[in-house]
Structure formats: structure tokens, C-alpha cells
Amino acid sequence: MKNKKKVSVPLLCSIFLFFVALFLWVFGVYMVGSTGYSYMVEWQFFSFCSTDWSLPIVFDHISVIFSCFVCLISGSVMLFSVSYMEEEVFMSRFVLLIMAFVGSMNLLIYIPSFITILLGWDGLGIVSFALVIYYQNKKSLAAGMLTVLANRIGDALLILSICFLVNWGEWRIGYGMTGSFSLLICFLVVVGAMTKSAQIPFSAWLPAAMAAPTPVSALVHSSTLVTAGVYLVIRFYSTLVETQEVLWMLSKVGALTLLMAGLSACFEVDLKKIIALSTLSQLGLMMFTVGVGFPLIAVFHLLTHALFKALLFLCAGSIIHSTSDTQDGRILGNLNYLLPYSSGCLVLSSVALCGMPFLSGFYSKDLILESAFSGLSGSLEILVMLMGAGLSLVYSLRILLIGVFGQNYGNSLVGYGVESGYMMVSIFILSIGAVMGGWLLQSVWVDVNGFSLVGILGKLSISVITFIGLFYGFVSYFLVSILKKSFFSALGWFLSSMWFMNLSSGSFLAGIGLKSSKMMHLHLDSGWMEILGGQGVFKILGNSISLTYFVQSGSLFIHARIFLILLVIVLISGVYLF
């Protein structure tokens, strides 16, 4: 490295985050997980109108282990950034933004109160905007505006829910509160969480946020920003149980998001966007799991998904960095000979994403499919969910065919770099998590054990769904040549556009929203409100001062005129009075 100061800042932050993750894992396993108790520390500021204003901090198996995973992935991303961002001039600024992002996420994890959770919630939105526009070009700015506008909708809905919670006299979540406006409050909280987790119809911002640097994408789209909405819904689940209508809507939206993102990933050509759409698909699966009544399994899948998805992003980032910033799947290929370590870990993470037995994704995905069979879901909903889950193998194979085993149409070998040691160490750490994370979590995750098992037919269906994506090759190579290609091209255009989510949500937020705000600024702030407001008062004061200057100019004729006008006014008023 040319500059030791650039290396030392992210390296020290990475070591610090690894030590924090190790401490939280030991503390979570032996102090919280083994005993089964939860601890809460609360500072009360003051009490007003029978409502306590306090700062609660909760330590339970969910918050401690989730924070451990966030610190582990953040440490790996920081170590990866030492090589990936080596040409960055403002490395300290980048590290500061990453640490602010991790701090905001930990605030969101540990604080179970709507008032104080807004610190972490808004912090994630602001810092994510700064990270998405980090490269400072038009594409990054457009993606950042779309991201921050979608997140601001969720912020506004959470603030509205806080206003209605005044009737309950309590802002802490997770206590099963019921009362007036309960249905409306639950609806506002769930829709606000859907904006942060990019569910339909707020799905356009997540693929657009790929304009950020790859380490940022690995952190944002694996364990922090996009999982904040899922985490909020899981924390609020004890109150959502009282309103089954909201859970019914959440399961339907989650299943549709799962299917839409899976189909779109099968037609995408950009490597990072395929991984982003797979994240969106898994987020829909988590929301569906919460909606059908299994929030603890959703947490389990959230944690295992964070491990192998961060590994997938880091492998893709290593490939992009070593191929002169190439991420177009139509150019990449045959990387198993050129970049063997990154390609091997990419295969491992893609196989874990499929739900291959005895890898981390298998434990949680198998539990989710079992819970869908044993829950109270409708047959059509289960069919949509099984189709979306079966598509995971399709886009995983697509990632491998694009990046590892396909034909290379790129440049000569001169354009390829060498895998850095920092990248290899960070990828190796997450590879251990992708292999053993599910088994370790299941051994300490007491609450997810003991579910009723499904029958042989259900298990057979789960196995078929896990590997049904192998029919993708049959469809690609035989049916397309038999049927009309025009039909498949039109269908592919529809599916690759995320069911026109970019037009419905992205254009609505970034286009109509910004245009209407500009018109309101021109006609209200700079229009009649300004005339009757600041500018009008200033003009009246200016005319009054000019009149006083005119009166006090010292001319005899002016004093005589003023005297006559005042005399006429006094005489007229005297006549009317008497």
C-alpha cells in the first residue's frame, strides 16, 4: 500500500468490530442464550400526561446475536475495503460513514421504543443516502434520491404511528398493546417497515442503490438497512397478532415480492443487480414468514441470510475489482481459472443461497417451508411462495453461469488483477459463517426448536422445490427454440422490469413527487405565501418608513397639508359622534 495511514484507519476499525462481535457472541451464547432470560435497562427522563419519556435498552437473544452478526459483517466489509478502496482519497470519510451506519443499526437493534428508535431509523436513511451518492455522478444521485424519498415515506408513517400511540400512553414495542386506533397503528407500522425493506410497491429503490461501492452494498443489503423493516415488524409482532388483517396483508405482499424479485433476477444481466434482486426475494420470504405467524423462524433466516449474502457481495466485489470494474454478465465468464479463490467462494455462497443441505441457508429455509405447510395459509399463497422459493436455484445458477462457468467475452489477461490478501481474509471469515453459521445458530437458538414436523409428502415437496430450478436449463435450451421467441422476449421485458415497479414506485417518488414539490415551492413558498408573508410585510414596512421620511422632511407645505388633513378628519369624526 502506498499510504499507511489509509490502511491503518479501516484496519483498526475492522479489528475493533471483530472483537465486539466475539464479545457479543460469547455474551449472547453463555449469558443470554443459555439462561433464556432477557434484560432491560431503562432511563426515565420525565413523565408528562401519564406518559413516561424514557430510553429503554433491551438485551435478549435476538438483539445480542443480531448485533453480533452486524459487527462481524461490518468488520469483514471494513477489511475488504482496505484493498477495494485503496485508491480512495477520502478514506477517513468513508470509514466514518460506515461506522455511523453500524452505530445507527445498533441503536435500532437495542432500543425497543418508537420515540428513540427513530434515532437509528433516521440515521440509517441519512447515512445510506450519503453512501449511495458516494461516487458523485448523476446515476448515483438519482439512486440516492430514490432511496432517501422511499425511506422518508417510512419515517413519516412511523411519526404518524407515534402520534396515534399517545392514546395508548406507551411507546415501547413488544408488549402486546391494544386499544383505540390499534388497526391503524399496526397498518402504519407495517407499511413503514415495508418501505425500508423494499416490499411491493416500494421495491424500485433497492436495485437502484447498487450505484454505491460494493462494500457498501455488502453491508446495506445483507444485514443492516434492508433488514431494519423486518426487524421492526418482528419486534412489533406481539401487537400485530391482535390485528390479523394486517398480518394477512403482510403475507400476501411478502409472497408477491418473493415471486416478483425471483422472476426479475432470472432475466437480469448485471451481476450486482442479480444479487440485489435475490436479497429482495429473501426479504419477501421473511415478510411472508412473519405474516403466517412464525417470527422466530424469520429472525433465524434473517441471520443466516446475512452471512451468505454478505459473502456473495464480497465475492462479486472481488471479481469486479479484479476485472477492471466489469460487472456486466454478458462480458464476464470463465473466472474459475483466472480468480479461483473468489470464484470458489462465489459458488459456495450461491449454493448456500439455494438451500443446499447442511449449509447455513438450508436450516432456516427448510424451517420456513415446513412452517408454510403447517400454518394457516391459503393454497394459492403457498403455491406462490413455493414458486418463489424454487426460483432461488434458478438465479443462483444464473450467477454461476455468468461469473464462473460461462464464456468470457472480455479483455485480454492484462486487464485482470490479483486477489488481495485483505480480500481473501475477509471472504474466508464469511465463508466459515456460510458453512457453519446455520448449525451454530440452531444449536444456540432454543426458541426455534420443537416445531411440529410435517409429513413425508410435505418433506418430499420441500426437496422438490429446493431443486426444481434445475429445470431452468431445460426451459432455456429446448422450449425457447420450440415456441416463439417474440413471446419470450416480451415476457422477459416485463419480468426484467420488476413488473414495472420502476415506473409505478420509482417514477412516482422521484418524478411526480419532486415535480409537485417544485410546483408547491413556486406557487406557495415563492408565491402568495411569500407575498402575504415575509415579502409583503417587508414591503409594507418599507412604504411606512418612506411615508415617515416624507412627513419628517421639514417642508412647510407638507406640514400645512398634514394639518389640514388631520383637521378634516377630526371635524368629520366630531359630526358623526355628536
Q: Does residue 524 lie in a domain region?
A: yes
Residue 457 has pLDDT above 60, yes or no: no
Is the same domain home to 525 and 477? Answer: no
Q: What 8-state DSSP symbol labels residue 525?
A: I
Q: What 8-state DSSP symbol labels residue 270?
A: B
Is the same domain home to 359 and 485? Answer: yes
pLDDT at position 518: 73
Q: Distance between CA 189 and CA 209 in Å, rounded? A: 23
Residue 452 has pLDDT above 50, yes or no: no
Minimum mean pLDDT among 169-183, 221-235, 404-418: which range? 404-418
pLDDT at position 470: 56
Q: Does residue 472 lie in a domain region?
A: yes
pLDDT at position 451: 47
H-type alpha helices, 266-377: 271-291, 295-322, 335-338, 340-354, 360-374
Is the same domain home to 365 and 450? Answer: yes
Q: Does residue 536 lie in a domain region?
A: yes
How many domains does the chain divide into? 2
Contacts of 337 (CB under 8 A, 6+ apart): none
Question: Mapping DSSP to helix (H, G, I), strand (E, B) and coil, where does residue 320 land?
Answer: helix
Residue 503 has pLDDT above 70, yes or no: no
Residue 433's pLDDT band, with cuts at 50, 70 and 90, is confident
Q: Does residue 397 lie in a domain region?
A: yes
Residue 450's pLDDT band, with cuts at 50, 70 and 90, is very low
Q: Distance between CA 543 and CA 50 in Å, rounded? A: 52
Domain of 415 in residue numbering reads as 243-266+275-499
In single-letter form, the type of residue at position 113 comes to S
- Domain boundary at 499, 533, 557, which? 499
Is the same domain home to 442 and 477? Answer: yes
Residue 319's pLDDT band, with cuts at 50, 70 and 90, is confident
Q: What is the pLDDT of residues 155-196, one digit of tens each?
A: 888 888 888 877 776 777 766 666 667 788 888 888 888 888
Is the same domain home to 329 and 407? Answer: yes
Scored b (16 or more CB within 10 A) or e, 143-160 reads bbbbbbbbbbbbbebbee
Residue 385 has pLDDT above 50, yes or no: yes
Minimum mean pLDDT among 377-386, 404-413, 468-477, 500-509: which range? 468-477
Read off the pLDDT of each residue in 354-366 and give the average, rounded to a whole number.
Answer: 75
Residue 542 has pLDDT above 60, yes or no: yes
Contacts of 52 (CB under 8 A, 6+ apart): 44
Distance of CA 514 to the CA centre of its chain: 22
Is the same domain home to 548 and 418? Answer: no
Q: What 8-state DSSP symbol labels residue 469?
A: G
Read off the pLDDT of each residue in 96-121 and give the average, rounded to a whole number.
Answer: 84
- As a whole-number percent, the residues of the chain with pLDDT over 70 amount to 73
Q: Does residue 403 lie in a domain region?
A: yes
H-type alpha helices, 165-292: 182-196, 205-208, 214-220, 225-235, 237-240, 244-265, 271-291
Grid coordinates standing for 108? 435500532
Is the same domain home to 354 and 281? Answer: yes
Residue 358 has pLDDT above 80, yes or no: no
Is the same domain home to 259 and 302? Answer: yes
pLDDT at position 417: 56
Q: Which residue has the higher pLDDT, 321 or 98?
A: 98
Read off the pLDDT of each residue in 537-562 and give the average, rounded to a whole number.
Answer: 75
Q: Distance between CA 360 and CA 282 in Å, rounded? A: 14
- Domain boundary at 477, 499, 521, which? 499
Q: Which residue has the higher pLDDT, 228 or 411?
A: 228
- Domain boundary at 469, 499, 529, which? 499
Q: Which residue has the higher pLDDT, 91 or 444?
A: 91
Is the same domain home to 370 and 456? Answer: yes
Contacts of 175 (CB under 8 A, 6+ apart): 238, 239
Q: Does residue 140 lie in a domain region?
A: no
Other beta carbons less than 10 A from residue 415's beta carbon: 12
Is the same domain home to 487 and 570? Answer: no
Q: Does residue 93 lie in a domain region?
A: no
Minimum mean pLDDT among 240-244, 344-348, 469-473: which range? 469-473
Look up the pTM and report it. 0.77
Q: Does residue 401 lie in a domain region?
A: yes
Is the same domain home to 294 and 371? Answer: yes
Is the same domain home to 471 and 539? Answer: no
Minimum mean pLDDT among 22-36, 70-84, 347-361, 489-503: which range? 489-503
pLDDT at position 509: 63
Q: Which residue has the higher pLDDT, 169 or 210?
A: 210
